[in-house]
């Protein structure tokens, strides 16, 4: 979920673009399946941290674009701060 929210900070994206962004942001470590990604998007949408920005049809296929909400932005920023604090505990010199 963190990588989805991080990807959407750049602006509205559709599912395939979100998937590509997650792969790039994680340097290939995170590659959710299509089903997993859309499950995540559905849960985030239900919780109000992302919203459907628009829908369009491309080559006969529907594309739904998602955007991060203000609540989602605050959530991902708070999580980044928590991870930074946790990393600082691990990365500080021994005996400090």
Residue identified by tokens 């299509």 is 34
For 31-46, the DSSP string reads: ---HHHHHHHHHHHHH
pLDDT in tens, 10-68: 999 999 999 999 999 999 999 999 999 999 999 999 999 999 999 999 899 999 999 99
Give me the domains of the chain, ranges plus CATH numbers: 2-91 (1.10.10.10)
Average pLDDT over residues 80-95: 91
β-pairing verdict for 61-68 and 50-58: antiparallel
Confidence of residue 93 (pLDDT cuts 50, 70, 90): confident
pLDDT, residue 96, reads 57
């Amino acid at each position: 979920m963190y990588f989805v929210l991080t990807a959407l900070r750049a602006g509205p994206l559709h599912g395939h673009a979100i998937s590509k962004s997650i792969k790039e942001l994680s340097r290939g470590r995170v590659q959710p399946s299509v089903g997993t990604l859309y499950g995540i998007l559905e849960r985030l949408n239900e919780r109000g941290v992302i919203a459907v920005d628009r829908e369009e049809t491309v080559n006969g296929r529907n594309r739904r674009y998602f955007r991060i909400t203000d609540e989602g932005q605050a959530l991902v920023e708070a999580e980044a701060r928590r991870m930074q604090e946790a990393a600082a505990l691990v990365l500080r010199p021994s005996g400090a």
